[in-house]
């Protein structure tokens, strides 16, 4: 309980710092149709672990996806995404348990991503997609790493956005020992590929103080549900 409590206090402290840099803007939140999945291989089979339980918030000063001039435009935004490790489903109970244990879910129940900066690389290609290069902190199994992720974004109806991306990771970068079974005869490969297809909708135009309060409430209740 103490470790969970310390963890949630850390998140609550980080949230105001994250959003304080933008005074006013538009709040977006991931919608239930969003999906993220992790693909991997082992000595005998390939596997995919899927979740649609994605809590993501973005605080954007402007929803303009146009570049200014000839250079890349800095896309002024802040975002956080959290996923409960045990929401990942690999389609097999034994594989699920192995994955949770490898990711040290009892000590680190969340996968967290914090956007640091983003730039519009290209805009409105075929299908209305724009490309944004992002840099952020990814925390898995308690280890934080800086990752660069290219994301494709397109504007949908009703102010919604569709974001898709792919990122290859090494388990050892996050101090994760690849799961194994049957005395090591079956072992997962170190490389994982994370793919996501997110749908985000406008919540409202807000100031940074408002979103700090709502984020804090959401993480607090999520903490209680996990503990209980």
Give residue-wise pLDDT tens across range 122-144: 876 666 888 999 999 999 999 99
CATH of 24-204, one of 2.60.40.10, 2.40.128.110, 3.40.640.10, 3.40.50.2000: 2.40.128.110
Give the count of beta carbons closer than 10 Å to the beta carbon of residue 126.
5
Residue 18 pLDDT = 46
Cα atoms in the 13 Å half-sphere on the side-chain side of 144: 7
Token pair listed for 73: 């435009």
The average pLDDT across 64-88 equals: 72
Residue 213 is predicted with a pLDDT of 44
pLDDT for 217 equals: 47
On the question of pLDDT at 184 being above 80, the answer is: no
DSSP 97-116: HHHHHHTTTTT--EEEEEEE
Task: Give CA torsion, residues 32, 130, 18, 224, to 10 deg.
Answer: 10
Q: What SS3 class is residue 50? A: strand
Segment (H or E) for 65: none
**What is the reported pLDDT for 94?**
86
Task: Report whether 136 contacts 111 (CB < 8 A).
Answer: no
- Kindly state the DSSP code that residue 34 receives in the 8-state scheme: -
pLDDT, tens digit, for every residue of 89-124? 999 898 899 889 999 999 999 999 999 988 888 876
Q: 221 or 84: whose pLDDT is higher?
A: 84
Report the 3 state secondary structure along 143-206.
EEEEEEEEEEEEECHHHCEEEEEEEEEEHHHHCCCCCEECCCCEEEEEEEEEEEEEEEEEEEEE
The whole-number pLDDT of residue 181 equals 64
Q: Where are the domains of the chain?
A: 24-204
Handedness of CA 167, 165, 35, 114 (dihedral sign): positive
Residue scoring higher pLDDT (205 or 92): 92
């Amino acid at each position: 309980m103490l470790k969970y409590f310390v963890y949630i206090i850390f998140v609550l402290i980080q949230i105001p710092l994250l959003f304080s840099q933008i005074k006013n803007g538009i709040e977006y939140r991931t919608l239930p149709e969003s999906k993220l999945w992790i693909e991997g291989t082992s000595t005998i089979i390939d596997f995919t672990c899927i979740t649609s339980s994605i809590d993501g918030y973005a605080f954007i000063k402007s929803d303009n996806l146009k570049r200014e001039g000839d250079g890349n435009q800095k896309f002024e935004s802040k975002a956080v995404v959290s996923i409960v490790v045990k929401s990942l489903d690999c389609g097999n109970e034994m594989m699920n348990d192995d994955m949770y244990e490898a990711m040290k879910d009892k000590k680190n129940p969340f996968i967290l991503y914090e956007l640091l900066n983003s730039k519009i690389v290209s805009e409105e290609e075929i299908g209305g997609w724009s490309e944004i290069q992002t840099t952020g902190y990814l925390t898995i199994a308690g280890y934080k790493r800086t990752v660069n992720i290219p994301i494709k974004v397109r504007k949908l109806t009703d102010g919604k956005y569709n974001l898709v991306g792919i990122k290859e990771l090494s388990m050892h970068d996050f101090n994760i020992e690849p799961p194994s079974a049957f005395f090591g005869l079956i072992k997962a490969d170190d490389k994982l590929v994370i793919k996501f297809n997110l749908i985000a909708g406008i919540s409202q135009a807000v100031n940074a103080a408002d979103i700090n309060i709502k984020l804090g409430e959401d993480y607090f209740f999520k903490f209680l549900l996990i503990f209980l």
